[in-house]
């Protein structure tokens, strides 16, 4: 595994750890943000291993790069779309209204965190780091 790939995974792991801590505190907005970040960094680890990471945050674009690199992520599309909405909406208070129900709920946070953990494990598996 390339050194830079490993760095992406380390950063993804740190975001997961933060998400778990703030979940216990009931700060669901930040759980969703850090879950999105962990997943994004896991995706970028996959890309880095075979190519060069692009400056992009949207999962729709990153997924296309992964597909071109022969990673099969179709089974994750719905969950990636779910997490994608948290990149901007959880960072800026004036955008919270863009989410249908307003701020992320406990259920949103639980779903986001569970998926981030699943995708991180999947990326590590593909990279032979499990």
**The pTM of the whole model exceeds 0.95:** no
DSSP state of 128: T
Tens-digit pLDDT profile for residues 109-126: 999 999 999 999 999 999
Q: Is 24 helix (H, G, I), strand (E, B) or coil?
A: helix
When pLDDT is averaged across residues 66-95 and rounded to a whole number, the result is 81
Q: How far apart are CA 43 and CA 47, in angstroms?
A: 6
The whole domain housing 11 covers 3-126
Cβ–Cβ contacts within 10 Å for residue 110, how many? 15
With beta carbons less than 8 A apart as the criterion, state whether 44 and 53 touch: yes
When divided into structural domains, the chain yields a total of: 1
CA 126, distance to chain mean position in Å, is 16
* 101: CATH: 1.20.120.330
Higher pLDDT, 12 or 63: 12
Tens-digit pLDDT profile for residues 21-60: 999 999 998 999 999 999 999 999 999 999 988 888 788 8
């Amino acid at each position: 595994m390339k050194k830079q790939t490993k760095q992406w995974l380390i950063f993804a792991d740190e975001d997961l750890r933060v998400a778990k801590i703030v979940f216990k505190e009931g700060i669901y907005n930040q759980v969703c943000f850090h879950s999105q970040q962990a997943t994004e960094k896991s995706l970028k680890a996959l890309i880095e291993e075979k190519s060069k990471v692009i400056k992009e945050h949207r999962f729709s674009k990153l997924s296309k790069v992964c597909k071109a690199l022969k990673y099969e992520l179709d089974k994750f599309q719905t969950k990636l779309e779910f997490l994608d909405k948290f990149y901007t909406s959880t960072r800026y208070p004036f955008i919270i209204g863009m989410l249908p129900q307003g701020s992320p709920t406990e259920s949103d946070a639980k779903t986001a965190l569970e998926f981030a953990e699943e995708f991180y494990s999947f990326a590590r598996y593909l990279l032979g780091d499990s």
